[in-house]
A and B are shown apart, each in its own frame.
Chain A
Amino acid sequence: DAGITQSPRHKVTETGTPVTLRCHQTENHRYMYWYRQDPGHGLRLIHYSYGVKDTDKGEVSDGYSVSRSKTEDFLLTLESATSSQTSVYFCAISDSRATSEQYFGPGTRLTVT
C-alpha cells in the first residue's frame, strides 16, 4: 500500500471554527489531491497540487484553501466550517500527470455541528 496518512481520522467541530486536515505521504509523489465524499455524489475534487507551492482549484473548492510547503505534506483548511462541509475527506497521491493513477489515504470523517 502507498504510504499515505491523514490526520485527524475523525473530527467534530462547531460551525464557524477553522479546521485543518493534514495529508502526509512517504512516496515522494509529485501530485496530491483532496476529495470529499458525500452520499449520492461519489468523490468530488476540492483542490490539487502538482508540486510544492503549486496548487489549483477543483470542482468544489468554495470554502476551502490548501497549502503545500513540502513534497510530503498537503494541508486542507476550512477557514470557517459550515454544516455543508460535513463529509468524508480523502487525500490521494500520484506520480504521473499522464496516467492519473491515484492512491488514496484512509479518509477523515469531519462533522460540523
Chain B
Amino acid sequence: AQTVTQSQPEMSVQEAETVTLSCTYDTSESDYYLFWYKQPPSRQMILVIRQEAYKQQNATENRFSVNFQKAAKSFSLKISDSQLGDAAMYFCAYSKYNQGGKLIFGQGTELSVKP
C-alpha cells in the first residue's frame, strides 16, 4: 500500500526567508502524481503545486517550487521569500496515475511565519 510521510509536524520561518518542507512516499508504481496542498486557518484546502512522476523537471509556481527525487521517493516543497500569508498547514499527497484521483495524504506540517 502506498504511504506518505511528513516528518516535520511544525516548521518556522522568518518573513522573506526560504523554507523547505519535507515529504517522503512509498509506492511500487512508476506513474503517479504528487501534490502539495495548503490549508490556512480558514480550513480551505488549496492546491499549491503538482508534479507528474514521469517529468524530470521540477514543478514551479511563483515562489513555490519542489525538489522531486524519484529514486529516493522524496518530494520537498520550497517556499521562497516567505510571506505572512504563507502561514498554514501544508499537506503532501500522492495519487496513482489514472486511478480515479484517490489521494493519499501525509500528516501535515504546520508552518508559521515570523514577522
Q: Are A96 and B105 in contact (CB under 8 A)?
A: no
Give the interface SS of chain B, mostly helix, strand, loop or mixed.
Answer: loop
Known contacts A88-B43, A101-B50; decide if A41 and B107 are in contact (CB<8 Å): yes
Within 8 A of A (CB), among B59-115: 91, 93, 95, 97-108
Q: Are A42 and B100 in contact (CB under 8 A)?
A: no
Shortest beta-carbon distance from B23 to chain A in Å = 11
Q: Are A42 and B101 in contact (CB under 8 A)?
A: no
Q: Which of A18-26, A68-76, A79-87, A103-111 touches B?
A: A103-111
Chain A CB within 10 Å, residue with most, of B45, B99, B101: B101
CA distance A41 to B97 in the complex (A): 23
CA distance A92 to B95 in the complex (A): 14
Give the interface SS of chain A, mostly helix, strand, loop or mixed.
Answer: strand
Q: Are A103 and B47 in contact (CB under 8 A)?
A: yes
Chain B CB within 10 Å, residue with most, of A40, A88, A97, A98: A98
**Which residues of chain A are within 8 angstroms of B30 by Cβ–Cβ distance?**
none
Q: How big is the B interface, by class?
A: 20 to 34
Shortest beta-carbon distance from B60 to chain A in Å = 17
Closest Cβ neighbor of B1 among chain A residues = A59
**Which residues of chain A are within 8 angstroms of B106 by Cβ–Cβ distance?**
42
Q: Is A58 an interface residue (CB 8 A)?
A: yes
Tell me which of B4, B100, B105 contacts A31 (CB under 8 A). Answer: B100
Which residues of A come within 8 Å of B, CB atoms?
31, 33, 35, 40-45, 48, 50, 56, 58-59, 88, 90, 92, 94, 96-104, 106-107
